[in-house]
Amino acid sequence: MTTTHAVVVFVLLRTFKDFLIFFMKKLNLLVFGFVLLAFNSLAQPGQGNSPDAAYVKANYTKYEYKIPMRDGIKLFTSVYVPKDTTKKYPFMMDRTPYSVAPYGLDKYKGSLGPSSLFLHDGYIFVYQDVRGRWMSEGIFREMTPELEAHKTNKDVDEGTDTYDTIDWLLKNIPNNSGKVGAWGISYPGFFTTTCLLSRHPALVAASPQAPMSDLYRDDAFHNGAFMLVANFGFYPFFTNRQDDKPTQRRGGELTYGTEDGYEYYLKMGSVKNSNKPGYYADTIRLWNEMLDHPNYDQHWKDRNVLPHLHDIKTAVLVTGGWYDAEDLYGAINTYKTLAKDNPATPVYFTMGPWVHGGWARGPGDHLGDIDFGGPTGPFYREKIEFAFFSHYLKGTDGDIPKVSTFETGVNQWKTYNTWPPKEAEDKNLYFLPGGKLSFDAPTAVTGADEFVSDPNKPVPFITNPDLDMKREYMTGDQRFAESRPDVLTYQTEVLDHDVTLAGNIWANLKVSTTGTDADWVVKVIDVYPDSAKNNKFTAQGVMMSHYEQMVRSESMRGKFRNGFGKPEPFVPGKVAPVNFELQDILHTFKKGHRIMVQVQSTWFPLIDRNPQVFEDIMNAGDKDFKKATNKVYTSKAHPSYLKVRVMQTN
């Protein structure tokens, strides 16, 4: 869940240890060296000695309020008002579950707004603890279910809380211009999306960034496979209270006793063991909610905000990163839904080469070994984000493209009127016998590749897994996986021209297994030529020659192949279609490179292990995990392929 939060978290976390846990275990935004640098530059949280911190205290006055909602619950809100009272200012609002800290009228944030540009331009900045979190009253519910009808004052959700907050601010904060903007990243991105549901006429601009949209498809599960390492490290920190009592108490942490995440989770065994003493000990309600609902049931349907995004009049800028390991689905599908269901509303979309929240701070010039050709973050912050809010809140000239996307592979910004681009043409990329990959359909009468999948010796998702969901896996070198016998590899011949994929990818597999359940992981990879040279970000001991850069990947729990609410076993040995979406990309595989696809059935501990026996995996026993022989078919009768969108070139 994120980085606006570089600022929010600096002032939220009171010790370096807490700071590091938060970022490295869930947000995955900053390398350790930058964490140290950032922490040292803000030595006193909330009272930092950075230029921004000094400017905040010199030019803004802080107020704290408990704003009443229609049902009587009061939400704790910090408001920073410019000291210059000669003009009126619009509001910029961030509603967060991560705390508005520091608390106290004499304690100030180290910076305000999405970036320093806002701080110096002058806004009234509003930070609010959402219902049930930190110093606000009420009970917190994971991704608050939104209501279509609000018949009484007891029918409340994030939309009504936003409406009541805006109404109170307009009436009680002097020198406001009557216009409100909202922004937030990850979980606050979700709360920004729900701001739209207030449909308050004063809310004229909003930017959900890396927003959670459907928790079953974002942070919790990917196509039914449980995102183990990301969630396990997050909930002890997040769970600072589970009642209706306001508090400034921080969340807890686990003592792992090792830095080896692969061995730690393997020794933990079945996911149900997470509630044994030494782990969660059955103390975290939100964790148990996930374990209690492995299927896409009403619990998850209630937490899908996308069906509610209709009749929106507010201008929206949706922002995400191509390498967002947490909420890639949320950004892409929030944009697509808003654009489709609100055709008369200005809806903008930006995707850059960023990790979760990586656009909010830092240069955004590389990820792991991959060089993006220069800084990308400053361009977004000034030319897109700041320009968007300035135009709608202050009336400045604005000529922002509807769609701004960074094309990886060639490292160029591209603009379009729609996403995916209309110029992209659907094509199939077929798996062929002999490990080949081609746009030509198979002609062989028979053909299949098989591997033995052993959940007790799962394929790691990255070399040397630690206790974190290392964001570098999104572009990581896959040569370590290609060499394993439980990973299938298919690749094209050397490309004689550039091939640009733009839009989503659908895996269409024909498979069989000797078990009754299986996971299917598909990875799309850019294979560099022998002539590729190392760049300034290449890690020691790594050679970019023949580098296998992962471009997109996704998992699918096979028992959900016919519906996420309808698990079905495989019939051992029987061919079955398994179709699932890999999220959108804009990537050019350059002339001289190859396109590669890898298929495997374990991806640990990124996702939990499938016992390869049809059962409720959340309650599987440690002895239930069995080897199985899995097949991927490559024949004319049973073709396996990726449906991709290829940009047409002159």
Q: Using the 3D structure, point to which of 399, 416, 433 is the last residue of a domain.
A: 416
Q: Indicate whether 438 and 321 sit together in one domain.
A: no
Whole-number pLDDT of residue 407 = 98
Instruction: Give the domain CATH number at 410.
Output: 3.40.50.1820
Q: Indicate whether 351 and 453 sit together in one domain.
A: no
Whole-number pLDDT of residue 49 = 64
Q: Which residues of the chain have pLDDT under 50?
A: 1-47
Q: What tens digit of pLDDT does each residue of 329-374 get? A: 999 999 999 999 999 999 999 999 999 999 999 999 999 999 999 9
Are 414 and 405 spatial neighbours (Cβ–Cβ below 8 Å)?
Answer: yes
- Say how far apart CA 82 and CA 61 lie, in whole Å: 6
Q: Has residue 287 been placed in a domain? A: no
Q: Indicate whether 408 and 468 sit together in one domain.
A: no
Q: Indicate whether 524 and 597 sit together in one domain.
A: yes
With vertex at residue 469, the alpha carbon angle to CA 457 and CA 232, rounded to the nearest 5 degrees, is: 85
Are 550 and 525 spatial neighbours (Cβ–Cβ below 8 Å)?
Answer: yes
Q: Has residue 284 been placed in a domain? A: no
Of 325, 357, 353, the closest CA to residue 410 belongs to 353
Are 101 and 248 spatial neighbours (Cβ–Cβ below 8 Å)?
Answer: yes
Are 370 and 549 spatial neighbours (Cβ–Cβ below 8 Å)?
Answer: yes
Domain count, the chain: 2
Q: Indicate whether 406 and 429 sit together in one domain.
A: no
pTM of the model: 0.93
Q: Indicate whether 483 and 561 sit together in one domain.
A: yes
Name the packing angle between helices 158-172 and 187-196 (round to 10°).
80
Whole-number pLDDT of residue 26 = 39
Which ranges in 31-87 belong to alpha helices (H)? Answer: 32-41, 51-59
Q: Give the range of the structural domain holding residue 571, as residue numbers without chain letter.
A: 424-647
Tokens (6 digits) for 33: 């060296």
- Say how far apart CA 47 and CA 66 lie, in whole Å: 23
